[in-house]
Chain A
Amino acid sequence: MYRINIASVWDFRARFYDFCEASDLRRGPSKKALFRGMRGRVLFVGVGTGVDIPHFPPGQTIIAIDISDKMLIKACPRARAYPGRVVLLRADARNLKFPDASFDTVVTSCTMCSVPDPVRAFREFSRVLRPSGRLLMFEHVRSRNRMLGLSLDMMTLWTRLSGTEMNRDTLSNARKAGFLVTSVASVFLDIILAIRATKTLAAEGEIPFHAPGRTGTLLKESKSDGQFVDTRRGLTDCARSSAVVTLA
């Protein structure tokens, strides 16, 4: 029930999302620098209308998910224009249907402010990441400055109604889920951050190390509609131009 509400909120926001997020002029170079760290099989969580796709490094194979169908339909033209392969799928970040250790890189961009249970989502990212897989996040968080923190708390009073919280501590949430934060760079003060993290050594256990870039065969391409592909018209049209993915 809650999931349906979240999806419908984002379906509604898809109409004017591009206007609100049209700050590429300012954030674009920082996004591009962060996304250069994409390696191997990439999962992009919360692709939205695809505003981040132009900043992806060319030639990658990227599985991009979002909870909203309308967002994904809007992302189709950008996915088609990408010089590589972007596969758009409808999925919930808190309940990924991918097998364990199936991605080398998980990427989020202004996503963890909107996922209802961020720690659970991070645990899912950890599960689908290969040992020593990397997590790249372009996220906004609560400022540690009291004055700026207060303004973000106030903004959250109304942004929460549309599914976004401006005052989350995403770094702590990632650590709670067992990620090792390897670097944090300021994009705007301590509010918008470019974060790099890896699965902790403890989480790796005794599984042998796999270098980023090596991909397995857990995902395979198929011409048929797969388990996680929305077969409605918009997404099917989009999928024709790239690949339809099913789980092996």
Chain B
Amino acid sequence: MQRRIRMASIMRRRDANASRSDSRNADTHTNPNEDFDRGRRLLFQAGDFAFLVCVGIASTIVAHMVHDIGWPFVPTCLLAMVAAMAVQTLLAIMAAPILGSIESMAPSMIVAMASPMVVCAVHLAGREPTRFIAIVIGALVAVSMFVFVHFYGRSCISALRKESVDVPN
């Protein structure tokens, strides 16, 4: 029994070391020893940033254009949200082969939900934002999402290590 516990403990330690190695390979962690990995990670971060900004701007412009139709507020907001999500889905599918399907879809979906909401809220407040303002709103939401993803990713690395079960030594 003691031998089994000892072996399990050794395996856990070995897995934890391998896990740390995985984390170094992950996009959300820096590895100062490997320039190639760092360069690769930076390229993906740049890609994520550009993609989120594209989604933010495109979905906000679409929502803004829907408001120009002049329908009552509630159906306009619903249509704006649906149109923005459709645009986001198309962009995410196009980006998936390079950036990854989930990696592109999950954060951009929030951007495509939040930025039209902001446009709708501005309209609800009685303001008529120009197209430039709509673009700025979309870009700001996207940048906020990018920053959130970056810091959340860092917190995930340490939080997930706690998921490992301690085997008694």
CB within 8 Å of B: which residues of A?
A: 19-23, 25-27, 29-30, 33-34, 36-37, 132, 134, 140, 143, 145, 147-148, 150-152, 154-155, 166, 171, 180-194, 196, 198, 201, 204, 209, 211
Contacts and interface: CB of A to CB of B under 8 A. Distances in A.
Contacts of A20: 96, 101
A60 to B, nearest CB: 17
B20 to A, nearest CB: 8
A30 B165 CA distance: 22
B16 A183 contact: yes
Given A180-B165, A187-B27, 8 more contacts: A29-B37, A143-B106, A154-B109, A185-B22, A186-B26, A192-B103, A201-B167, A204-B4
Nearest to A199: B8
B18 A183 contact: yes
A198 B19 contact: no
B97 A19 contact: yes
A30 B22 contact: yes
Contacts of A181: 163-165
A147 B110 contact: yes
Most B-side CB within 10 Å, residue of A23, A150, A184: A184
Contact of A188 (B4, B26, B110): B26
Interface residues of B, number: 49
A222 B111 CA distance: 55
Contacts of B167: 180, 182, 201
B98 to A, nearest CB: 6
B49 interface: no
Interface string B72-100: 00000000000000000000000011111
B71 interface: no
A185 B8 contact: no
Nearest to A192: B102
Tell me the interface secondary structure of chain A in the complex: mixed
B8 A33 contact: no
Contacts of B157: 185-186
Interface stretch (B55-63, B118-126, B132-140, B148-156): B148-156
A131 to B, nearest CB: 8
CB-CB nearest 3 A-B residue pairs? A23-B100, A183-B19, A185-B22
A212 to B, nearest CB: 8
B127 interface: no
Interface string B37-75: 100100010000000000000000000000000000000
A26 B167 CA distance: 33
A24 to B, nearest CB: 9
21 contacts: A26-B98, A26-B100, A27-B100, A30-B22, A132-B7, A155-B105, A181-B163, A183-B164, A184-B19, A184-B163, A185-B26, A187-B22, A188-B27, A188-B103, A189-B149, A189-B152, A196-B19, A198-B11, A201-B8, A209-B3, A209-B7
A30 B26 contact: yes
B25 interface: yes
Contact of A191 (B5, B23, B40, B102): B102
Nearest to B145: A147
A19 to B, nearest CB: 6
Given A23-B99, A148-B107, A190 B159 contact: yes
Nearest to B22: A185
Nearest to A138: B22
A26 B102 contact: no
Given A182-B12, A185-B160, A190-B156, A23 B21 contact: no
